[in-house]
């Protein structure tokens, strides 16, 4: 997408991130996710990649965990620092493709498709390698993402995401099955604020491809679930939580 860079998403979504990601646009329960992450972390140090405004990092830190959050957007990190409990999280401005803040960490995690914001296979592979380097032996990398369509499709469309008397949100999007990419923009119309464009762009990977990248980075696939509650992953699952372990 012309004009799109690693900071674009955060800069355009920071002002509505908390409302949307606990409201219209995210499935799943935040408390359930935090519970699952806390079980994986134990009492160890935690690093979240793509921390945003701390939807997950803050409640983890409030449980007494040592949490560092990395994000490429200064606007996101500013909102993290300003919210209640935000001071408990060590916010770091940087690229989740690496290098990463020095560990070692017991748990590194990346939630809700954020890994796919790395827009090339090479960047995604590099991220696995950097995660390996900051994990302690026996530490885990937890990655949550959607399961791409099989077979993938190429096309475009417009979808209604929200409709009320004073606000309309449309999703305009297109996908390329060969490049494994999807991109688009949420177009928000409000009675008082006019029109806002909130663009996004991803390069998706199938679970088997993620497993291959993990093995190349010396991270062993340990488990795959349909959600943070540990539900069984099946051929019909639309999302997955994949756990990778650093052996040495």
Q: What is the pTM of this model?
A: 0.93
Confidence band, pLDDT 50/70/90 cuts, at residue 25: low
Contact 188, 198 (CB under 8 A): yes
Residue 28 binned pLDDT confidence (cut-offs 50, 70, 90): low
Q: Which pLDDT score is estimated for 177?
A: 97
Residue 26 has pLDDT above 70, yes or no: no
Query: What does the CA dihedral 112, 114, 117, 121 come to, rounded to 10 degrees?
Result: -90
Residues 142-190 have pLDDT tens digits of 999 999 999 999 999 999 999 999 999 999 999 999 999 999 999 999 9
Convert the pLDDT of each residue in 30-85 to its tens digit: 899 999 999 999 999 999 999 999 999 999 999 999 999 999 999 999 999 999 99
Give the domains, in start order, of the chain with CATH numbers: 8-148+205-246 (3.40.50.150), 155-202 (2.20.25.570)
Which tens digit of pLDDT belongs to each residue from 104-155? 999 999 999 999 999 999 999 999 999 999 999 999 999 999 999 999 999 9
Beta strands in 79-232 (DSSP E): 89-93, 105-110, 135-146, 155-163, 167-176, 181-190, 194-203, 219-225
The confidence band for 207, taking pLDDT boundaries of 50, 70 and 90, is: very high
């Amino acid at each position: 997408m012309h004009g799109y860079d690693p900071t674009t998403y955060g800069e355009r979504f920071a002002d509505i991130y908390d409302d949307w990601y606990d409201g219209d646009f995210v499935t799943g329960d935040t408390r359930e996710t935090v519970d699952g992450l806390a079980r994986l972390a134990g009492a160890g140090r935690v690093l979240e990649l793509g921390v945003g405004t701390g939807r997950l990092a803050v409640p983890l830190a409030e449980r007494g965990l040592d949490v560092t959050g990395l994000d490429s957007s200064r606007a996101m990190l500013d909102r993290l620092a300003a919210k209640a409990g935000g001071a408990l999280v060590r916010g770091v401005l940087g690229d989740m493709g690496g290098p990463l803040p020095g560990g070692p960490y017991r748990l590194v995690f990346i939630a809700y498709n954020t890994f796919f914001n790395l827009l090339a296979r090479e960047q995604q592979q590099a991220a696995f390698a950097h995660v390996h380097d900051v994990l302690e032996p026996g530490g885990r990398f937890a990655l949550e993402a959607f399961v791409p369509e099989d077979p993938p499709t190429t096309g475009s469309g417009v979808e209604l995401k929200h409709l009320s008397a004073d606000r309309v949100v449309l999703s305009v999007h297109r996908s390329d099955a060969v490049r494994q990419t999807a991109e688009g923009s949420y177009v928000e119309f409000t009675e008082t604020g006019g029109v806002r464009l909130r663009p996004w762009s991803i390069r998706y990977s199938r679970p088997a491809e993620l497993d291959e990248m993990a093995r190349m980075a010396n991270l062993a696939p340990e488990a795959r679930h349909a959600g943070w509650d540990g539900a069984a992953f099946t051929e019909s699952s639309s999302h997955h939580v994949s756990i990778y372990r650093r052996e040495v």
